[in-house]
Amino acid sequence: MPNAQYQPPADHCYINRELSWLEFNRRVLEEAKTESHPLLERVKFLSIFVTNLDEFFMIRVSGLRKQIESGVSGEAFDGLSPEATLHQITKVLQEQIKEHSETWRNLIPLLHKNGISILNYADLNANQRQIATHYFKREVFPVLTPLAVDPGHPFPRISNLSLNLAVVFNDEAGSYSGHRQERFARIKVPPLLPRLIRVDSLRTQQTDYIGQGDPDAENMCFVWIEQVIAANIHALFPGVQIISTHTFRVTRDTDVEIQWDEASDLLSTVQSQVRDRRFGSVVRLEIDHGMPETIRRTLTDQLDLEALDVYPIQGTLNLSSVMELLKLNMPRLKDTPILPKLPSRLNRGERSIFDIIREGDLLLHHPYDSFSPVEDFIQSAATDPHVLAIKLTMYRAGSSRGDQRLPIVQSLIDAVDNGKQVAVMVELKARFDEENNIGWARALEEAGVHVVYGLPQIKVHAKVAMAVRKEADGMRRYVHLSTGNYNASTAKIYTDLGLFTCDDNIGEDATHLFNYLTGYSRHRDFNHLFVAPISLRQSMLGLIQQEIVQHHKTGNGHIIFKLNALVDPEVINTLYTASQEGVKVDLIVRGICCLCPGVLGLSENIRVISIVGRFLEHSRIYYFHNNGNEKIYLSSADMMQRNIDRRVEVAFPLLDPTVRVEVRDHVLLFALKDNVKARELNADGFYTRVQAQPNVQNFDSQREQMRLR
């Protein structure tokens, strides 16, 4: 059960959650500097750094600001108040943003050597300027809307993450006295146009400006669209003396808050909140480094910001846009595409997916294993005449593929057409996927699917699908449980584990879970599943305590957790206790880790590593040695208060010994052996790269997973 009153001991060591996240993003930035990556993959990591940071401000920094505005001044369990945390964030980011800009500047010459020139407008030759001007007149000018700021024109509402030009000019005609008057206008850079405009040859098609599929794709020149707008700014202000132009960008609070007692219709409420998100309170202002103080002051006054909220950038703003370069048809500058494989058991001939699952539990490890068996499972259930019902949770299904529905969504609709009972739990509150999920919910409802929108105040984050099939010996439930979403796109870049099983006890648990989600079931006693917020916390703490007891008897206690984040203080302190009792604890934490490893008398038996590589490590695995009778649970949940206490999550056991060995040896031990992409956490909250020992070969766990296939 939730344990909101838990207070960690004052003498324990904790790393601040927000600063730990910034250290994770620093590791992402380090990948952009790693020369072993193909060049465009390094560019990709630069883009990811910015995208990550945007979300950090939209959610985490906005949350800190709300605490400060509400008068929250007390220290969190890590010892920092919200205000102190905000000051530390600013200090850390000043260094990271500078490093990020320098890394991009260092990559520009390398891109040039490889046929991709990113130019400033001032460096364009006459022919390139002609091309840029032609593009401006035809594609850009018609969609621009200059917005003046003066007594007759209030300061415009600036949407979240939009790139803007602040234009300063003298307007003699607009002055009653006849004297020149300095004025200010804002131009929004069109977000639907390419950020990088190709200027090495005159084109007629807009899409050609990103160079995709061009026959001369080895010799391309690009210029930033905002620089082209600035160079042609006179076209927007004829007869006006332009003094200067400067780029700026705002980040707003986007955390959707729903007043449950006022939300009689959750679908329309979330839809309204998403629309309003574009204009939440501003939490960050990014400006070009050369912006004059007068313009900076105008912006901070109008946006109600403090100096702490302003981030000058030495170079180009919003480098998330360099992800456009990954569209270029230049395979030699990218990772070799991975070709996901099918487990040998799925080369099934005439056998159905249900026949194969009946033979024994089946594990999939994405992206190394194909996601198609998951889609095939739902499709087979939709068309099999013996399947009577399908139930599924949908957290992040992703966006449509062109005009086509997602295969899983289409299969669910087909199932209704085939007379089957279909129930889908669509989580409308999946952050940043609300609009996609609203669309899928409406499409499913219109087709006759029973759609449920989640539970009051609790997100449904569990990943479960079930097909109920009538067979010769009675009803059988086929269940798929996963650490990741039912999303074919993310399954190509996130490492996740999924399990197919028809175990009777797990099937019964899945039935009770869906009844809990769709009805008023208060069932609490599950056979095998740990379900948050009902039993996950106490079950996980109990397994740690059980390992301590076993260690006292045998001396071979060993716990391995692989997860995205370790924040919950009660779980951390129980792991500290395990370490103090002599249990070996290995933690593979991709992102936030608030636990301090290696502290004498507290955590000297705990080692923490983080792996940031080609694929986003997303699977959650909880391993307990248990004196050789190993227990392994996979889960959708990280060890965070929000997951354990304020979400519906599931942890499910690996009952098949063969599957347990596969996860232990080829996932957990591979990760612990990594000396290429792994960094080790120090007690001070900083990470150092794991170094290969003498006479030990380099071992990249993700590459080894690909080699296995």
65-105, pLDDT tens digit by residue?
A: 888 888 877 777 788 899 999 999 999 999 999 999 999 99
Per-residue pLDDT for 38 more than 60?
yes
Largest alpha-carbon pair distance within the chain? 95
Buried b (16+ CB within 10 A) or exposed e, 570-601: bbbbbbbebbeeebbbbbbbbbbbbbbbbeee
| Cα distances (Å, whole numbers) of residue 72 to 164, 569, 640 | 34, 20, 21
| Domains identified in the chain, total number | 3
Same domain, 223 and 350: no
Residue 559 located in a structural domain: yes
Lowest-pLDDT choice from 67-81, 241-255, 441-455: 67-81
Measured between alpha carbons, how far is 255 from 535 in angstroms, rounded to an integer?
28
pLDDT of amino acid 278:
52
Backbone Cα Rg of the chain:
27
In a domain, 461, yes or no: yes
> Does 10 reside within a domain?
no
Nearest to 603 by CA among 611, 593, 612: 593
Same domain? For 187 and 307 the reply is: yes
Instruction: Give the C-alpha separation, 304 to 155, whole Å.
Output: 12
Q: Is residue 154 scored above 80 in pLDDT?
A: no
Triad 404, 408, 409: Cα angle to 5°: 60
Say if residue 610 is in the same domain as residue 495: no
Same domain, 167 and 299: yes
* Strand spans (E) along 52-134: 116-119
Tell me what the pLDDT averaged over the chain comes to: 89
Shared domain check, 542 and 467: no
Residues 512 and 544 in one domain: no
State the catalytic residue, choosing from 461, 512, 558, 625.
461
Residue 403 vs residue 124, higher pLDDT:
124
Residue at which a domain ends, from 485, 504, 525: 525
Strands 459-460 and 647-653: parallel
Same domain as 319, residue 371 = no
Question: Which residues face 451 on adjacent strands?
Answer: 424
| Residue owning tokens 């003066």 | 150
Boundaries of domain holding 566: 531-708
Evaluate whether residue 5 is within a structural domain: no
Both 554 and 684 in one domain: the answer is yes
Lowest-pLDDT range of 396-405, 465-474, 613-622? 396-405
Q: What is the CATH number of the domain that holds 272?
A: 3.30.1840.10
pLDDT for res 70: 80
Q: Is residue 260 part of a domain?
A: yes
3-state secondary structure of 651: strand
172-213 pLDDT, tens digit per residue, is 655 444 455 667 899 999 999 999 999 987 543 344 444 443
* Placement of tokens 């344990």 in the chain: 3
Asked, for residue 147, whether it belongs to a domain, the answer is yes
- Which among 35, 271, 279, 43 is positioned nearest to 159, based on CA atoms? 279
Q: Which two tokens stand for residue 73?
A: 């001044």
Helix (H) or strand (E) run with residue 364 in it? strand 362-366
Tally Cβ neighbours within 10 Å of residue 284: 23
Q: Are residues 290 and 360 in the same domain?
A: no
Q: At what angle do helices 39-55 and 17-32 cross, to 10 degrees?
A: 160
461 is catalytic: yes
- Tell me the per-residue pLDDT of 403-433, one tens digit each, with 9 for 90 and over: 567 899 999 999 999 999 999 998 876 566 6
Q: Which of 58-62, 623-627, 659-663 has the lowest mean pLDDT?
A: 58-62
Contact 600, 580 (CB under 8 A): no
Q: Are residues 601 and 671 in the same domain?
A: yes
DSSP H helical segments within 304-369, as ranges? 353-359
- Report the b/e string of 405-434 with b at 16+ CB within 10 A: bbbbbbbbbbbbeeebebbbbbbbbbeebb
Q: What is the pLDDT of residue 115?
A: 95
Query: In whole angstroms, what is the distance from residue 425 CA to residue 223 CA?
Result: 46
Q: What percent of the chain has pLDDT over 90?
A: 72
What pLDDT sits at residue 257?
Answer: 54
Determine contact, residues 251/57, Cβ cutoff 8 Å.
Answer: yes
The predicted pLDDT at position 440 comes to: 76
Residues 21 and 53 sit within 8 Å (Cβ to Cβ): no
Of 525, 544, 560, the domain-final residue: 525
Percent of the chain with pLDDT over 70: 88
One domain, residues 453 and 436: yes
Which residues on adjacent β-strands are paired with residue 548? none
Length of the chain: 709
The answer to whether position 395 is within a domain reads: yes
Chain-centre distance for alpha carbon 586: 24
Structural domain contains residue 137: yes
pLDDT digits (tens, 9 = 90+) for 370-395: 999 999 999 999 999 999 999 999 88
b/e per residue, 325-359, with b = 16+ CB within 10 A? beebebeebbeeebebeeeeebeeeeeebbebbee
> Are 662 and 585 within 8 A, CB to CB?
no
Q: Given 468, 503, 525, which residue is the final one in a domain?
A: 525
User: Is residue 320 located within the same domain as residue 389?
Assistant: no
Task: Please report how the helices 82-113 and 17-32 are oriented relative to each other, as an axis angle in degrees rounded to 10.
Answer: 10
pLDDT at 145 over 70: yes
CATH classification of the domain holding 544: 3.30.870.10
Half-sphere exposure of 651 (CA within 13 A, CB side): 25
Torsion of CA 563, 569, 575, 576, to 10 degrees: 140
